[in-house]
A and B are shown apart, each in its own frame.
Chain A
Amino acid sequence: MIKMVDFNNETTVGTPAVDVVRILILQRRADVIEALEVYNKQDDSGVDPPLPLVKSRIYSFFLELQGALKRKLCKKDKKGKNKSNDYDWLIKQLKSNKFDELVDVFLYLNEYLDSIKLTRIDTKEQYDRSSFETDNRKNGIR
């Protein structure tokens, strides 16, 4: 496990809580990826893969995001019904003992992080640089 937030350190107290939580989320995500690496490695080697490790780390990852996910996914429409069934689906999939179903949960959570731009890396605007006028316009020359 990679430790990025040290709650015993004085500087952590001075850090805004939202930043600490963001780092914790990234830490949990890295832990899941590490567990998946170990699982795949052992599975390919013919050794019993550590499914409990993968399952527990995905669950920890989910717990970091649970509040935000429930708020986002449990919105009700005018008739009082949930707009999305995704939250219920997540809860059900987390109890599964099948590797593929657990990975689906991880992928869902990963895409959620990209949608809120926590893990988005390709933020630079893409445009056609082979057009002189487009390049000029995008750089403020009219």
Chain B
Amino acid sequence: MIGQVLKLIIERMGLDKMQDTYKHGLPFSESLDKNIVELDNRVMLKKASMLVIDGAVGLGKTTLAVHCADRVNALHGVDPIKLELKDHPQLAMGGADFLKKMRICWELNLPVIIYDEAGDFTKRGAISRFNSMLNRTFETYRGFKILVILLLPRFYVLDSHLFDLEVPRGLIHVVDRNEKYADFSGYSLVSMNWIRYWVDKLPKAIRYKAYDKVIPNIRGHSLDLDSVRSKQLDRISTREKIEILKKAEVKADGLLSYKDLADKTSRSMIWVKKKVAEMKMKESRKIGRVKYFKEDVLNRLVDVIEGND
């Protein structure tokens, strides 16, 4: 009986809910908020700016990025970023998605975009492609007044050219997380450059210790998203990860898309699709709208080409 009464009191007072914000009204430390406001001011002056959030897998980088983006939106009188499964223009997963959504954000006058690198780095040569894409983006989009929040495991894989252009202005390094909050350290561009110096000096196996060599400019905590948005984010994140896994499976099985077949046969995709339809060859798997075929389809196409030649 007493237990039931206590439970009712706790529920009525909202004590059973996880804390959504701190006393100052934000879900992260004020020290970070000050820097977000300064970065936003800088972007409004058309100075290309990027906030990098790095840290190990599952520590809450995306959650923190969403909080930061919500704050930037609020500074411009815009609602918190959308996290619907099919409508999240300010959260880009992967390079191609980022470029597309950068343009959408500019068209919709949205002041911030999150680029979650996701599994971009799993492919060979991906880091250099990623870096050249970022360089091109910032050279082109600096006048667009959009703050980019970049998420990746370790910031020091970024190209030195970006640092020469002084585009990354700060780093939030997520250190750890428990069920209630995540801990982070914040570094200015000056501090990031010192970390990069130590990364070069230390043996490869202990490069992560470079962060310990530099005193952070700020330290802070951030809370989780509310349960609704947290679930929305999980769905987006899970979907992306499943897509990545499926694509990895496809590659492991040696399956080929229309584009792969076109590349390997040095023919156009229109020709490949036409021939596949004529020969009534069925796809082995379909992921999203992309069809994947077994290698013998390639062999049959090559036979057709050689027969024609």
Contacts and interface: CB of A to CB of B under 8 A. Distances in A.
B89 interface: no
A139 to B, nearest CB: 4
A133 interface: yes
Nearest to B218: A130
Interface in B165-195: 166, 169-170, 186-191
Given A139-B190, A141-B189, A141-B190, A133 B166 contact: no
A125 to B, nearest CB: 14
A132 B189 contact: yes
Contacts of B186: 132
A130 B31 contact: yes
B42 interface: yes
B189 A130 contact: no
A133 B190 contact: no
Q: Is the interface of A mostly helix, strand, loop or mixed?
A: loop
B189 A131 contact: no
A3 interface: no
Contact of B191 (A133, A135, A142): A135
Interface in A95-119: none
A141 B186 CA distance: 17
A129 interface: yes
A133 B169 CA distance: 7
Contacts of B169: 132-133, 136
B34 A131 contact: yes
Most buried by B among A135, A136, A141, A142: A136
Given A135-B217, A142-B166, A130 B190 contact: no
Interface residues on B, range: 10 to 19
B20 to A, nearest CB: 24
Contacts of A136: 166, 169, 188-190
A125 B190 CA distance: 16
B35 interface: yes
Contacts of A141: 166, 189-190
Interface string A54-67: 00000000000000
Contacts of A135: 188, 190-191, 217
Interface residues of A, number: 10
A88 B263 CA distance: 96
A132 B166 contact: no
A5 to B, nearest CB: 40
Contacts of B107: none
Given A141-B189, A141-B190, A142-B166, A133 B217 contact: no
Contacts of B170: 132
A135 B187 CA distance: 10
A142 B164 CA distance: 12
B278 interface: no
B38 interface: yes
Interface string B29-51: 00100110011001000000000
B24 to A, nearest CB: 15
Contacts of A133: 35, 38-39, 42, 169, 188
Nearest to A133: B38
Contacts of B189: 132, 136, 141
By Cβ-Cβ distance, the 6 closest A-B pairs, closest first, are A132-B188, A135-B188, A132-B170, A139-B190, A133-B38, A132-B35
Interface of B: 31, 34-35, 38-39, 42, 166, 169-170, 186-191, 217-218
Interface of A: 129-133, 135-136, 139, 141-142
5 contacts: A129-B217, A132-B187, A133-B169, A135-B191, A135-B217
Given A135-B190, A141-B189, 13 more contacts: A130-B34, A130-B35, A131-B34, A131-B217, A132-B35, A132-B186, A133-B39, A133-B188, A136-B166, A136-B169, A136-B188, A136-B189, A141-B190
